[in-house]
Amino acid sequence: MIAILMNMLLPMGAPPSRPLPQPTAPLAITMAPADQRILFSWPSQRCPDKRMLPDAPVRAFRRADGQISLIAASYVNWTMTGPSFDTLKTDCRSVFGPDDAGAGDQAWIEATYTPDGRTVGALLSREIADDKRPGNCIPAAGNSCWLGDIIAARSGDMGQSYSKGPVVASLGDKRTPNGSRYGAFTTSNIARGADGFYTLAFLESKGVVRGNCLLRSDDPLDPASWRGWDGQAFTLAMGTAQSAQRCATLNNLDQPVRSIAWIPAKKRWIAVLAASQPGNGAGFYFSESPDLRRWSGLRLIARASISGGPGNRQRRWIYPVILDPDSKSRNFDTIDHADALLIYTDHSPSQGRGPDRKDLVAVKVHID
């Protein structure tokens, strides 16, 4: 498998991009395909509950007891723990599952933040309708019913269990017939800025809004404190559809952002996402920003198969995150060294012969 990944993930030249809104040289991120390792191997590290597999971007924080907690969420959310990224072991206890989500819903932990390693605030992507429960959807011929929102959760035991909180971002609980996907679907991690805490939420509704919305909070443990950017200020209580529709989606970021991080030495932010761009095709890309509001054009980190072919039944590489394992931040939201890790999920569909195989792969990258 390593050899295949080395062949597929090849660094490419950077495409032309819009200049940064400040007079600094653009960042360059180069990858060492030969310097990679498997953080989670489905054949050797999977849990008895086969629903516990990587199905969202990884998030990590340092617990109060010194252990790292890495979340690779599915709708039966689970963790890996260890004193370092080299020693992580699978913990097969569910920290948040369908019973915790309630009403038969499913929710994936998409973001975490802890001030002390004990109390943890989280944001979850929740599916609140599917083809078996079409009551929330206005019928549309040939369209699957896919409706989602972002809810909060909280842990008081170092992330070993979470309790559900209120809705943080939503386009409402009724999907219109315009398209098969409607709502607030994913978030980046939560990162601390100079004047608050931030996350990016991806909203999608045909003809209404589509893109990444910037949310800010004074306290990530208080779900009611999150406010969306309206283009001038953080005024939008995104839990209501009327407010969420008014968010000012961010330029140059037209796909879900999987991670954001502050680079103190460069005094700028980076966002990482999977996308396809003219001239460079499909792969993992990054953008940079001085303030989280204005973003540069996308630049390629590595070419990769991200769509999986017709019906998404072919092998693909998804959920890219850049993370500094030696970050000075308890929440790994800063990149304090030139060398970091690109962590992504290697997804090999089972073609109907059991659960899909999903491995977590970490590749060393250099930021200059």
Amino acid making up residue 155: S
Domain boundaries, the chain: 2-367
**Class of residue 89 by CB neighbours under 10 A (exposed 0-12, middle 13-18, buried 19+):** exposed
pLDDT tens for the 368 residues of the chain, in order: 444 444 445 433 333 333 444 446 799 999 988 889 999 999 999 999 999 999 999 999 999 999 999 998 999 999 999 999 999 999 999 999 999 998 878 999 999 999 999 999 999 999 986 555 556 666 554 556 788 999 999 999 999 999 999 999 999 887 666 666 889 999 999 999 999 999 999 999 888 899 999 999 999 999 999 999 999 999 999 999 999 999 999 999 999 999 999 999 999 999 999 999 999 999 999 999 999 999 999 999 999 999 876 666 789 999 999 999 999 999 999 999 999 999 999 999 887 677 789 999 999 999 99
Q: Are 146 and 130 in contact (CB under 8 A)?
A: yes
Q: What is the pLDDT of residue 67?
A: 98
pLDDT in tens, 24-37: 679 999 998 888 99
Q: Report the pLDDT value the prediction gives residue 139, as an integer from 0 to 100.
A: 55
Give CA–CA dist 315/52, Å, rounded. 19
**Could you tell me the fold of the domain covering 2-367?**
Tachylectin-2; Chain A (2.115.10)
CA distance 106 to 102: 8
- What gap in Å lies between CA 358 and CA 50, rounded to an integer? 11
Please report the pLDDT score of residue 14 as a whole number: 34
